[in-house]
Amino acid sequence: MIAKPILKKLARKHGTPLFVVDHAQLRRNLAEFKRWLPRVQPYYAVKANPLPEIVRTLYRAGASFDVASLPEFLRVHENIQGLPAQARQDYIWDKIIYANPIKAPETLVALDQYKPLVTYDNLEEIRKVRKYAPQAGLLLRLKVPNTGAMVELSSKFGAAPGEAVDLIAAAQQAGLTVAGLRFHVGSQTTNFQNYVQALHLAAGIFKEARSRGFTQMKQLDIGGGFPAPYDANVQPLRELAKLLKTEIRRLFPKDVAVLAEPGRFLVATACASVAQVIGKADRDGKRCYYINDGVYHTYSGIIFDHCKYPVRAFRQGPTRMSAVFGPTCDALDTLSLTEELPDLNLGDLVYSQNIGAYSHASSTHFNGFPPAQVVHINL
Ligand SMILES: Cc1ncc(COP(=O)(O)O)c(C=O)c1O
């Protein structure tokens, strides 16, 4: 969390709406992940927040990367452009995963020269990869339970466990190499049993695949889902890590490399937003505040990420139940109808913490309002 006085000072200096990124917190989050899960190589899911400064800080701190579009791939690639050719190639193979199971032919053509590791989950994709990116390696994405996750990710992608080994065989027959399996248990997964079930499914498939001779299967990618501490009910990473370590040790041979794709966990707590009250009205007995950031902008995660970001005031005083709206003309631009806020004046500042993931990344220019200005601290 970024300290309140710092947020206030930055807003005074730079104006609002403001999106503040604390790079020291990014580094701490990565270090925490590595501390509790030393066997798991973290690939930052760039989609959570693709700001180039964030990618650079995590690159320098030793993260690997999960990208899901060509622009995301190129954003990571910017950091390795200066490396000698072989080191660059090794980096791409060892530290970047193209984790979108569906890739346009032109994306595959552009990616092929980099010999990337890409994910797939169906026969058509095998044909496409073979035709347009024959140098790519493959990870098979499995469909696993996403029960209780804040953001469900299993309805769009994932091979059914029953067809998994046949899909591995089909890719190998097509001359491609399947290096392993991956899954995603759903974003902001507080039901840790999702991971346990997914690991069991993956272990069964690994075993069967290896027994059918697919001994090149050496990677297990446990995806994202690691919950950010949005509230006190979220169990800390160390609790999930204990469970993961036990299950992974029990279910997978030592020669299996384990990777993960944390997005939210690395970036959510590293960013805060500051906005200003630009309007105030009492409607149907309720105090309504209008601020200069909203759901088409930094608060877009309310819609796309099903996330809630409490809006807090710097001003102190007795509070009342208030509604908070964004600056656009759309009624959808509602941040909250139940926010406990003191009596605020026009020009007062408000802020939200833990708003780094799936927020600024999906900010739009709707209604002529640009995304919030970004300020970096502890770069
Ligand atoms: C393929 C893939 N990997 C990783 C992530 C990151 O997940 P999280 O932010 O829950 O860690 C996502 C999120 O949508 C994803 O789709």
CA–CA dist 205, 228 (Å, integer)? 30
From 120, 187, 188, 237, mutation site for ligand 1 pocket: most ligand atoms within 8 A of C-beta: 187
Residues with beta carbon inside 6 Å of ligand 1?
Answer: 45, 48, 66, 99, 153, 184, 187, 223-226, 261-265, 357
**Ligand 1 atom 14: residue of nearest CA:** 187
pLDDT of residue 148: 81
The tens-digit pLDDT sequence of the chain (379 residues) is 899 999 999 999 999 999 999 999 999 999 999 999 999 999 999 999 999 999 999 999 999 999 999 999 999 999 999 999 999 999 999 999 999 999 999 999 999 999 999 999 999 999 999 999 999 999 999 999 888 889 888 889 999 999 999 999 999 999 999 999 999 999 999 999 999 999 999 999 999 999 999 999 999 999 999 999 999 999 999 999 999 999 999 999 999 999 999 999 999 999 999 999 999 999 999 999 999 999 999 999 999 999 999 999 999 999 999 999 999 999 999 999 999 999 999 999 999 999 999 999 999 999 999 999 999 999 9
The answer to whether residues 49 and 271 touch, using CB atoms and an 8 Å cutoff, is yes
Determine the Cα–Cα distance for residues 171 and 158; give it in Å rounded to an integer. Answer: 15
The sign of the dihedral angle between the CA atoms of 39, 41, 42, 45 is negative
Query: Which atom of ligand 1 is found nearest the CA of 265?
Result: 11
User: Mutation test of ligand 1: which of 30, 46, 66 has the most ligand atoms closer than 8 Å to its C-beta?
Assistant: 66
Q: Residue 271: CA atoms inside 13 Å, Cβ hemisphere, count?
A: 31
CATH of 4-19+269-377, one of 3.40.50.300, 3.40.47.10, 2.40.37.10, 1.10.10.10: 2.40.37.10
Query: How many other C-beta atoms are found inside a 10 Å radius of the C-beta of residue 284?
Result: 6
Q: So where are the chain's domains? A: 4-19+269-377, 23-267
pLDDT value of position 280: 98
What's the CATH number for 23-267? 3.20.20.10
Distance CA 270, CA 359 (A): 12
Computed from CA positions of residues 329, 335, 340, 342, in that sequence, does the dihedral angle turn out positive or negative? negative
Asked if residue 144 lies in contact with residue 194, where contact means CB atoms within 8 angstroms, the answer is yes
Supply the pLDDT for residue 147: 86
- If you measure from the C-alpha of residue 147 to the centroid of ligand 1, how many angstroms do you get, rounded to a whole number? 15
Residues annotated as catalytic are: 329
* C-beta of residue 321 within 8 angstroms of C-beta of residue 340: yes
pLDDT of 155: 84
Ligand 1 centre and the CA of 9: distance in Å?
33
| Per-residue confidence (pLDDT) for residue 153, from 0 to 100 | 84
